Amino acid sequence: MAGKGDKVRSKPRANPLLSRWGGAYELPPFGKITPEDFRPAFAVALKEHKAEIARIADQTAKPTFANTVLALEKAGRTLSRVASVFYNLAGADTNDALQEIEREMAPKLAAHESAIMLNGKLFKRIEELHERRDALKLDDEQRRILELHYKWLVRSGAKLNGKQKKRVAEINGRLATLATQFSQNVLKDEQSWRMVLDEKDLDGLSNELRDAAARAAVDAGLPGKYVITLSRSSVEPFLQFSARRDLREQAFNAWIRRGEMGEKTDNRAITAEIIALRTEFAKLLGYQTYADYSLESTMAKTPDSVRDLLTAVWEPAVKRAGDERDALQERARAEGSNIEIAPWDWRYYSEKERKARFDVDESATRPYFALDNVIAAAFDTAGKLFGLKFKELKDAPRYHDDVRVWEVTNRRGEHVGMFLGDYFARPSKRSGAWMSAFRSQSRVAGDVRPIIVNVMNFAKGEEGQPSLLSLDDARTLFHEFGHGLHGLLSDVTYPSISGTAVTRDFVELPSQLYEHWLMVPETLEKYATHHATGKPMPKALLKRIKSARNFNQGFSTVEYLASAFVDMDLHAVDAESNEMLDVAAFEESTLQRLGMPNEIVARHRIPHFLHIMGGYAAGYYSYLWSEVMDADAFAAFEETGNAFDRKTANKLHKFIYSGGNRRDPLEAYVAFRGRPPEITGLLKKRGLAG
């Protein structure tokens, strides 16, 4: 008992990031986590992982699969838990405190990973196991894991000499710092720019877009005004519908200049340094270019094979885009506009052309794609294909009030995992749409079930009103949910090959394939219902939507391919040092060589090309590579006459959605389809077949 005058010491607060995730569903305790928890949590987790690696590398016992490879797979669980929460919040609900920690931790985590990758003792154990792999009596999954660990260490620099290893570690640390700065600069540009409008500036805008702009103005402290931001859900509809050409030009130029708007957020010098460092790294490992290095471990294998695919689609796409431009030019002149179609005109006049040719416009289709209905459609499709059920949990922990949480079970009622949906745009969230995991599936330390999140940037509806999606928005939701299923359905033993931990040009197959089910008749008839009346979409409108499926496909294909070509060229530079690379001139040179139409701008310009500054370096082509497979894979269902054919779905589940990286990706595809994919399905899908 404390004596009189003694101070009663309160029990120190336990760091929620270091405690076991409790509760019925083992979700992170979001409500208890503060930014101040991350630094000490990272410190503890890094120390723990370093000790685990040291025990593995320094042991005197002869290397075995269990004491080396399995031990590696079990190591780092605390670090994985802390990092997964941190980086999910840094992307979806960041703030100044988290961004400061992100900048601080980037080089520290890179140094930690480099120390593992370049650990000579550890590599010697893996190398010895790899050399006697045929005598180890490993099962297929164990052999695959050993092979992947060996290749990962070799490709990380494990065979280099001491001086080279030191330089690799320096490069890794600097790249981590630069990539973090690049991403934060883009977000700052997106957060800082806004176009303030009055009532007179709203000509052509739908009621939904006006309401969204009015809410954005209130959020900006400008009640009575209207604000357009650089959130895709704000700026793209504005470009599509605003009758004010001067304002469209202003918004468009801001949109394409993200990452180069101001001196402090200019990413061009950062990009030049990143490319220089990547080139130097590739040369240290004996490759001519970073593209050669990056592609070696993918399905594509070489830059030439990527360029062959891109070129095969580029030529028909440019021809189609030319026809589309001519039609838009004619449309503008018919309306009395004596202009030459410019990039900020394309979306506006293509919407008019779509309306004229197919009697379809976005304002007519949005009422039939309420967010809740599209979510239900995605869930129902997963039920029909894979037997999954989704139960929403209203009181589950979440990191933002907008986030929704579901428990996922299978046909037998068994727990599969948890799914979080974060659907609405906000300033604290980076742009775009993505899938991530708070925890991935594995079985090396018990039956660990996945916790998967989909993040999007849709416009929120008025208070009490549903959020209404465009058809493209609905496709995006299905796309990201396809990624989500890839994580949820994972059924492997080892965490390093779980879920979406596959090659870049295979990872988009489950997501792009899943988009197909949005447009099957069973889905649309049941879920494309009017948000106010509940009536199904009229069959005549549905028919017109399908007829317009490939409308503007030349434009969308060209803007995507342009970015893919720029990515490949940027990472195919073989100079020893590129610090002085003029990013703008380089981009322009590539586009001129391609014959880029003046009326179209690349989907992602280099200063805000987050894909290639992250995990898609020399890999943006992969969406098209995967599309070859997704078109071919959906044809397997079409050939049965049933989009939900159970036998085909079972094979899809076994070899694609649940297999992780247990097999070589081409082997996995052939196991599902019975043969390699054929490009004819892609050209047909995009309406570009001759």
Q: List residues with catalytic annotation.
A: 480
Q: Which residues of 645-680 are buried (b: 16+ CB within 10 A; e: fewer)?
A: beebbebbbebbbbbbbbbebeebbeebbeeebebe
Q: Which residue has the tokens 């894991």?
A: 145
Q: How many CB atoms lie within 10 A of CB 472?
A: 13
Dist. CA 449–CA 313, nearest whole Å: 40
| H-only helix segments in 445-582 | 471-488, 504-515, 521-527, 539-547, 553-570
Q: Which residue has the tokens 């299905």?
A: 478
Dist. CA 73–CA 492, nearest whole Å: 12
**How distant, in Å, are the alpha carbons of 349, 366, 524 from that of 508?**
31, 26, 24
* Tokens (6 digits) for 584: 């703008």
Task: Give the sign of the dihedral formed by CA 565, CA 620, CA 158, CA 164.
Answer: positive
CB 79 within 8 Å of CB 116: no
The torsion angles phi and psi of 173, rounded to 5 degrees, stand at -65, -45
Q: Which residue has the tokens 């010098």?
A: 269
Helix (H, G, I), strand (E, B) or coil at 329: helix
Helix (H, G, I), strand (E, B) or coil at 444: strand
Q: What is the CA radius of gyration of the chain?
A: 26
In this structure, which amino acid lies at residue 674? Answer: G
Q: Which residue has the tokens 């899943």?
A: 514
Dist. CA 128–CA 65, nearest whole Å: 11
User: Cα dihedral angle (105, 433, 152, 126), rounded to 10 degrees?
Assistant: 80
Longest Cα–Cα distance in the chain: 92
Using alpha carbons only, give the angle 391, 395, 396 rounded to the nearest 5 degrees.
75
561, HSE (Cβ side, Cα atoms, 13 Å): 26
Helix/strand/coil (H/E/C) assignment for every residue in 615-642: CCCCCCCHHHHHHHHHHHHHHHHHCCCC
What stretches of 201-296 adopt beta strand conformation (E)? 226-229
Q: Which residue has the tokens 């986590």?
A: 33
DSSP state of 431: S
Helix (H, G, I), strand (E, B) or coil at 439: strand
